[in-house]
Structure 1
């Protein structure tokens, strides 16, 4: 019985993330809250939370500009730039 209960618990645990991913989900669009002197967004609001935008002088505890819906900043690589094995 214990093995069956553990197996059932595992099956339910693995199915929950798949059930939570629906095609109807739409991420909330960031809203620019504050801009610097050059006009670049430095704070954005997503939902009820305000995030600092990562800049060259701020790289910790901030949101990537592209992740914030801005058209500047680093782009994720589609490959690993290290040595191939």
Structure 2
């Protein structure tokens, strides 16, 4: 099951619970899960800092930012959006 399938499953569960008049902590948990999964989906898309050309050289990532700076670091995740950077 991928994130989109999980989101659809939780949203369907919430709709069924609403139809049946069930309201309780399970709905709060489902809403929280949907929000977390949606945030993860957004993070995996990347941002203006990490969607651009990323190079891997000697365990360093080089990211060219929109203002032209080049940042080199040993990070595994984008400092701006949290997306995991690919290791080449």
| TM-score, scaled relative to structure 1 | 0.29
Q: Rg bigger for which structure?
A: 1
Tell which has more relative contact order, 1 or 2 (C-alpha 8 A, sep 6+): 2
Q: Which structure: greater helix fraction?
A: 2
| TM-score, scaled relative to structure 2 | 0.28
